[in-house]
Amino acid sequence: MEKIEIILTECIKDIKSGRATLAECLNRYPSRRSELEPLLNLALNIQGPPFMELEGSYKQAAKARLLQQIRADETEKSRSLTDVFNFGIPRRFAWARVVAYVLVALIVVSMVGGGTVYAAQDSLPGELLYSVKRGVEDVRLFFADGSAAKAELNLQFAQTRLEEMSRLAFSNRERAQLAVNGYRGNLDAATEQIRNVTSASTRCTLLKGALEEMRNQLGFCDNAIDAAPAHPEPVREASTLCITEQVRLLTMLAQQNNVEAAQINLAAMQNRLHRAQTKAESGNYQVMEVVLLQYREFNQLGERILLDAQSQNNNDTEIEQLSLAALSGYLNTIDSISQLIPQEYRNSVEACRQATLQFQTQARHGHQNQGDSGTGQGGSPSGNGGGATTGQGSQTNNPQDTGGSGNTGSGTPNHTVSPTPGTGGNIDSGNGTESGGGTGTDGGSGAGLGVTPSPGNGGNADGGNEPGSGNGTSTGGGIGAGPTTIPSPKH
Amino acid sequence: MHKSDRSNPQLNLEVESIVAKATGGDTEAFGRLYDIYADRIYRHIYYRTSNVEDARDLTQEVFLKAWHGLPRFQRNKASFLSWLFTIAHNRVIDYYRTKKYHSYLDNEIVMEDRGKGPQELVEAKFTQQQVRRAILQLPEEQQQVILMSFIEGFEYSEIAAALNKTEGNIRVIMHRALKRMREILDKVEV
């Protein structure tokens, strides 16, 4: 029997080209009618926006700006010493440049026994031998076997750019910036090469290796920032590029293995939080704010991976469990950071808290749906369910998740999810079996201290690791300390 | 729906020659490519972002990125236009990351409304907005295949070349995408 995807796409093609009507297509495949009809109806209903044009004057101005920028980029390139070594060969003859590099390299090697090439390895942007160094890299890339090998080389060269940047960040901003520009180029090229890898398993392995490399490079950038260079801007830009690259690679990995992508992403979130905490402890609040922004990038990505999984019912339960296990710990860390910093920096911490809560809510939402169907596997591993517990106030709860007997806490909810009555069972209590039912009012009201993270007393049964202080009682739910670390990604 | 370049062999030949010049460093030739394709790219990005200003900025960035990527394009089998769309797709994904997730779903965009009465128009607009939302909720790859096929009019072979996949892969992705969209829309209707 013909495959449904072939039938479907051929029907769409025939109908769109006028070779057949919808009815004719359906009559061709009577046994597939029920499957085909809704999909064809939908396909024929997809329309784009009407033809839109950029406004004439805007378009002309935009084109002029674009060409101006392109010319400026080209001029800068041609000014750079690197282009001296392009031998005036136009870029469409890139192969000829490479041949020229090889010849020059051979001549140089034969003349000075490789000393120049060797010496060039230690050169920095703006120095005469730097062109030789980059030329040698180009030759290695040219001869690398396949996209995977080229991607790995580009990542290796990216690390070289970072090292150049960190050496120059103490002396010369412009030259450090040249190294960062090179870093961006190496990362873009690596991503492009990874996209070109056709074998799914090779690409997956390559992505994981690249992510490990990017983690190391981010650590390198962190150290470079901590060394308090005279010109921190290029270093910060490199750090941002590194984060963007990680997000890009994780997005690609999520398409192939969303669980591993979620694990690595959660580890990246944890890494950023720990650094933010260290910076808060040392009173370096500005760096802390930047790191918290990086945390939010990963948080947002984590939420997207989860949403994609939930919308496809693809490993969603596993990702929800992983996320829930990790996020409650992260909220504790965020609370402890909040305790360490002056008032004027609390907004950025609060923004992180809200973002994390939103992610947690999304994870709980799916988790709750699993619980409703009575097939829950338990969420945070170490909770002890059941029993009446004296609550300690402000909870970080998704109201809809309140199961068991609900909370009657009287602390001021520190996290701004509105308390509304929740219904239904909660599956996150320790041994992971469904229990409860009934109704709960979460969040409570009254005066509480709000932000003090006290270890998980009562209330929410998601591992009981929610922060809170204040006074109140909570019945049902569980006690427990959810893990603050997540399982390592499988390699 | 637009037609891809393949449906116009003369334009295709002209574009090939312009692309060759641009790859050789001819900025005027690249400007000509901008004249030909800027509106298509802008419209595509607008459909996905529903924000005129952002769509304009992103269009500019796509062309700048294309200029810098031209040496790599020569080794690619895809048409120049489909290659531009893959750059636009990746750029929009980066854009999503910087925006609040789903905020772009809440905005409505202008839809085709020729030849419809008022009641029909309202219903059609509603349906199209729902369909658009469903498309934007698809995983990235499925989204790209649906947009390139239904909105931009690329043939399966062109999409396959642009995404470095086989036509068979594209058919499978298309089937999954439509099934997923049906599920999303059914939930909305319920």
How far is the C-alpha of B40 from the C-alpha of B46, rounded, in Å?
Answer: 10
Domain boundary residue, one of B90, B107, B124: B107
β-strands A421-426, A478-480 pairing:
unpaired
Tell me whether residues A53 and B39 touch, CB distance under 8 A.
yes
Nearest to A91 among B25, B114, B156 (CB): B25
Residue of A15, A66, A316 to mutate, interface with B, max B Cβ within 10 Å? A66
Nearest to A92 among B23, B34, B140 (CB): B23
How far is the C-alpha of B51 from the C-alpha of A427, rounded, in Å?
Answer: 41
How far is the C-alpha of B150 from the C-alpha of B135, rounded, in Å?
Answer: 11
Domain boundary residue, one of B107, B141, B163: B107
Task: Please give the ipTM for the structure prediction.
Answer: 0.82
Nearest to A42 among B56, B171, B181 (CB): B181
- Measured at the CA of B40, the angle between CA B117 and CA B171, to 5 degrees, comes to 85
Residue of A32, A63, A197, A256 to mutate, interface with B, max B Cβ within 10 Å? A63
Q: In this predicted structure, what is the pLDDT of residue A412? A: 35
Tell me whether residues B47 and A49 touch, CB distance under 8 A.
yes
The answer to whether residue A297 neighbours chain B at the CB level (below 8 Å) is yes
Nearest to B172 among A5, A50, A67 (CB): A5
Both B50 and B142 in one domain: the answer is no
Both B121 and B166 in one domain: the answer is yes
Q: In this predicted structure, what is the pLDDT of residue B54? A: 87
Both B11 and B86 in one domain: the answer is yes
For residue B54, the domain's CATH number is 1.10.1740.10
Both B39 and B128 in one domain: the answer is no
Both B127 and B54 in one domain: the answer is no
Task: Pull the structure tokens for residue B35.
Answer: 């004249």
Tell me whether residues B113 and A50 touch, CB distance under 8 A.
yes
Q: In this predicted structure, what is the pLDDT of residue A209? A: 92
Closest to A90 measured CA to CA, from B22, B14, B17, B65: B22
For residue B180, the domain's CATH number is 1.10.10.10
Give A-chain residues touching B179 at CB under 8 angstroms: 39
The answer to whether residue A35 neighbours chain B at the CB level (below 8 Å) is no
Give A-chain residues touching B187 at CB under 8 angstroms: none
Both B119 and B101 in one domain: the answer is no
Query: Rounded to a whole number, what is the distance in Å from the CA of A456 to chain B's nearest CA?
Result: 30
Segments forming the whole domain that contains residue B88 = 1-107
Task: Pull the structure tokens for residue A208.
Answer: 């994981």
β-strands A478-480, A383-385 pairing:
antiparallel
A3 neighbors A29 (Cβ within 8 angstroms): no
Both B160 and B69 in one domain: the answer is no
Measured torsion, CA atoms of residues B64, B66, B71, B76, in degrees rounded to the nearest 10:
170
How far is the C-alpha of B137 from the C-alpha of B122, rounded, in Å?
Answer: 23
Query: Rounded to a whole number, what is the distance in Å from the CA of B9 to chain A's nearest CA?
Result: 18
Q: Work out the mean pLDDT of chain B and round it to a whole number.
A: 81
B145 neighbors A179 (Cβ within 8 angstroms): no
Task: Pull the structure tokens for residue A29.
Answer: 């495949």
Domain count, chain B: 2
The answer to whether residue A77 neighbours chain B at the CB level (below 8 Å) is no
Buried b vs exposed e over B109-122: b needs ≥16 C-beta within 10 Å? Answer: bebeeeeeeeeeee
Low-confidence spans in chain B with pLDDT less than 70: 1-10, 74-77, 98-126, 189-190
Domain boundary residue, one of B65, B90, B107: B107
Both B136 and B174 in one domain: the answer is yes
Q: In this predicted structure, what is the pLDDT of residue A136? A: 86
The answer to whether residue A45 neighbours chain B at the CB level (below 8 Å) is yes
Both B58 and B89 in one domain: the answer is yes
Provide the number of CB pairs (under 8 Å) joining chain A to chain B: 148
Would you give per-residue pLDDT tens digits along chain A (491 residues)? Answer: 678 889 999 999 899 888 999 999 999 999 989 989 999 999 988 877 766 788 888 899 999 999 988 888 777 666 554 555 555 566 656 667 677 767 766 665 555 555 666 777 788 998 888 888 888 888 888 888 888 999 999 999 999 999 999 889 888 888 888 899 999 999 999 998 898 888 888 889 899 999 999 999 999 999 888 887 888 888 989 999 999 999 999 999 998 899 999 999 999 999 999 999 989 988 888 899 999 999 999 999 999 999 888 887 778 888 999 999 999 999 999 999 999 899 888 888 999 999 999 999 989 876 665 544 433 333 333 333 333 333 333 333 333 333 333 333 333 334 333 333 333 333 333 333 333 333 333 333 333 333 333 333 333 333 333 333 333 333 333 333 333 344 444 43
Both B90 and B174 in one domain: the answer is no
